[in-house]
Chains A and B, each alone.
Chain A
Amino acid sequence: MDATVQTKPRMRVRVPSSKQSKGQLRRKRMLEFGIFALPWMIGFLVFQLYPLLQSLEISMSNVQFSRAAGLQFSFVGVQNFRDAITVDAHFTSVLMQTVVLTLFQMPLIMAFSLTAAVLMKQGLWGTTFFRALFFLPVVIGSSSVMNQLTVHGGVPIVVMPRFMSAVYSSVGPTLAKYVSAIYQALALMLWRSGVQTLLFLAGLYGVSPTYYEVARIDGASAWQTFLKVTLPVLSPMILLVAIYTLVDSFTDPLLNPVLNYVLGIQTTGGALEYGKASAMEWIYFVVVFVILLLIFRYAREHVYYAGER
């Protein structure tokens, strides 16, 4: 509605005897959107929707393999879904664990990456070096080989700090084990926040210096400026980072127990278990998508876009 209000003066200027109605303008806007989104639409239909529907079909089929006929699908409806939830002993518990763990880690990863980005924007000497350093987890984390060599292969990713031996001697081995487990979990989490840190850094550099100037003139403290200026302007980026963190932990086959489990079933069970594995994946998507929608719902009231009226 607002759009038409804003564009009215323009139309009066450009089209003197205006016959262009609201409907025509709306059609024009839709056409413009169509042009921008056309490549995506084609790509979505061909490279995503079609394969996804095939996967959905598999999830509702009993897959059989024979030398003569190759793969054969027979429709069984929701049976695979029912099996995944009720018959399979591990699936639901692994799923629940992953969801809880991810929801627990998400705020921590986000808080850490925001802190790191803010630190890097302070204009300290050597910022370029630190920016390069914080890029390493992005490069290494996205390479399966590098992952094997570092995170999973024993390059000492977690070197126990000196204080650990002190902890060890003072509280005894049992408690020290927990402390070191927490330390390791934290270090692994740091390794998974590289992308987020870069996103926040770009977001911070996008905040107009004018805002800070105004805040300074009005006498806001650094903390107030962060809360009232930086955070709101950064909020679209915070939503992006939240979704990325959620999806990243849910789609990483190396780190995600559910996907690991499903892929394990797929490879060990062969074609016979294919239907069941697909059904599990679909249950999984739906659960994650619901979480994602909840985040979007929350964001609708709390994210500030300068382009909105």
Chain B
Amino acid sequence: MQRELAEVEFVANPIQRLIDRIRISGSRLLLRLVLYGLLIDLGFVYFLPMAFMALTSLKSPLDLVNPTVHWLPTHLFWANYTFAWAELDYGPALLRTLLFVVVAVAGQVASTALAGYGFARYSRIRGVEFLFLLAVFTFLVPPQTIIVSLLLNFKLLDWMNTYLPLTVPEFFAQGLRGAFFIFIFRQAFRALPWELEEAARVDGASAMQLFWRVMAPLVQPSVAVALVFSVVWHWNDTFGPQNFIPANPEMWPLSLELQNFQSQALSQNNSLAANQAFLQHTMLSVNEAGTIMAGAMLVILPPVAFYILIQRTFVQGVERAGLIE
């Protein structure tokens, strides 16, 4: 009671209130500055290599040998990009990569969401936890371990040099780190309140309706995360295409084109007397550094653009989650 009175007095005193407000906003400002400092500091570690690549991709060969040019090129040398564009077969390669990635990602996210839901909401059935541990075990197995066996079997199926080995496993919740996506969805679905399921069942929803109409919309942030990872990992994967479509360059995705471009440049480089000053910074010679960096920029641009588009979904999750209560 006394305390309440004191508070009333405190609020009623305008000068005190002003001082108080200033004090609060002052400490807020300080906190903000500290937070910014931390973010910028951490972001710098990520920003620098990227900035270096972007700047190097715009350097002319003359800039690359010039010891006074370290970060900024003297002029923007766009010819690197035209060369890399041609070397990567960019137009057609981009199209087929998009097509392959869209199909693979759609299959993987859909099938792993189903499996994750099953593992999350039926965990009380005996044996389900054991099956989940089996799934997690497959997450441990690097693709290098089973590649020999997969190659033998895909050869028998006559799937070699097609996109089938890279897309069909995705529809069965396997493929690139499939178990990890199952795990993402299992954790997300398991965190949804039990009352929700109960209410939907009382209203007569079938298991599929429950999944699709009630539960799936509530794990949107996890779907966004799974989409992002699946897209990026499929986009960048070289191990799969290299092993399953080695003999058909017309089908190579961008990742493999880039790898090929780089290794060709490196092998030429060995016969040339590479410039010493530049070698200290990269292992590439003057002739290729700019163009390879340009090629790398071209290859990572689409996934970065995709991420920037989809990252809003993380924030949307907040409003959605409010519906649970």
Which residues on A are within 8 Å of B, measured CB to CB?
Answer: 2-3, 6-7, 9-10, 13-14, 26, 29-30, 32-33, 35-37, 39-44, 46-48, 50-52, 54-55, 58, 112, 115-116, 119-120, 122, 124, 128, 130-140, 142-146, 148-150, 153-159, 187, 190-191, 194-195, 198-199, 201-203, 205-210, 233, 236-237, 239-240, 243-244, 247, 250-251, 253, 259, 263, 278, 281, 285, 288-289, 292-293, 296, 305-309
Contact = CB atoms under 8 A, between A and B. Distances in A.
Contacts of B141: 48, 52, 251, 285
B111 A43 contact: yes
The DSSP consensus for interface residues of chain B is helix
Given A43-B172, A51-B149, A153-B282, A139 B236 contact: yes
B321 A207 contact: yes
Contact of B128 (A33, A55, A159): A33
A135 B144 contact: no
Given A145-B258, A146-B300, A155 B281 contact: yes
Contacts of A14: 204
Contacts of B225: 198-199, 202
A132 B47 contact: no
Nearest to B180: A244
B114 interface: yes
A139 B173 contact: no
B221 A202 contact: yes
Interface string B111-144: 1101101111110110010010111111111101
Given A119-B38, A205-B221, A132 B307 contact: yes
Given A39-B111, A48-B174, A236-B190, A143 B118 contact: no
B65 interface: no
A157 B46 CA distance: 8
Given A39-B173, A130-B43, A159-B48, A146 B325 contact: no
Interface in B49-105: 49-50, 52-53, 56
B232 interface: yes
A202 B293 CA distance: 31
A146 B296 contact: yes
Contact of A44 (B174, B198, B202, B237): B174
A308 B190 contact: yes
A19 to B, nearest CB: 19
Nearest to B219: A206
B282 A154 contact: yes
A36 B311 contact: no
B189 interface: yes
Given A207-B321, A247-B140, A292-B136, A190 B114 contact: no
A50 B149 contact: yes
A99 to B, nearest CB: 13
B140 A285 contact: yes
Interface in B187-228: 187-194, 197-198, 201-202, 204, 207-208, 211, 221-222, 224-225, 228
Nearest to A154: B282
B207 A35 contact: yes
A50 B152 CA distance: 12
B34 to A, nearest CB: 10
10 contacts: A33-B122, A40-B135, A43-B171, A51-B146, A52-B141, A132-B311, A133-B46, A142-B232, A202-B222, A240-B183
